[in-house]
Amino acid sequence: MEPKIVAVVARGRNGVIGVANGLPWRLSSDLKRYKARTWGKPMIMGRRTFESIGRPLPGRESVVLTRDPHFRAEGAHVAASPPEALATARRLAVLLGADEIIIAGGEDIYRAFLELTDMIELTEVALDIAGDAHFPALDRRDWREIARESPPRGAKDEADFAYVTLERLRS
């Protein structure tokens, strides 16, 4: 069975997901959930997202999508096109025994894989914040909310938030 393609993203009320190649908020609770949600799975991300993290994340396989033919990243897999990134991630999913491939951003990567995405694990951040990266607009006719959780705000969280799971409606 093919692994599901799951976008994992934190988004402000106004659609912002990043600013100056970083996160526009500090949500320690969400970072812990992100680690648990992505552990043991291949992750497709753009070069700028990879560079903002600074290294491959432990316990996961990073597939970095870039147009730069000279880009190399020790410990990560590099792909020159979305089909190549997806083929690499599928191969890694089999090797890892993973049932999901994670789409980890940024904006261009979410946009490139949105039509193939089966599920979105969305952290809705209760902020309208300035930023230069946005999550693509979703056509709500294509998605249904299957879960929502509003955990209490942790001591190291800068905003309230909710975890929302969206599943693609297939016709």
CATH of the domain at 110: 3.40.430.10
Report the percentage of the chain scoring pLDDT > 90.
Answer: 97
HSE-CB at 104 with a 13 A cutoff on CA atoms is 34
Helices (H), the chain: 28-38, 47-53, 82-96, 107-113
How many domains is the chain built from? 1
Q: pTM of the prediction?
A: 0.95
pLDDT band at 171 (very low <50, low <70, confident <90, very high): low
The pLDDT tens digits for 2-17 are: 999 999 999 999 999 9
The pLDDT tens digits for 61-97 are: 999 999 999 999 999 999 999 999 999 999 999 999 9
Look up the domain containing 157 and give its range: 4-168
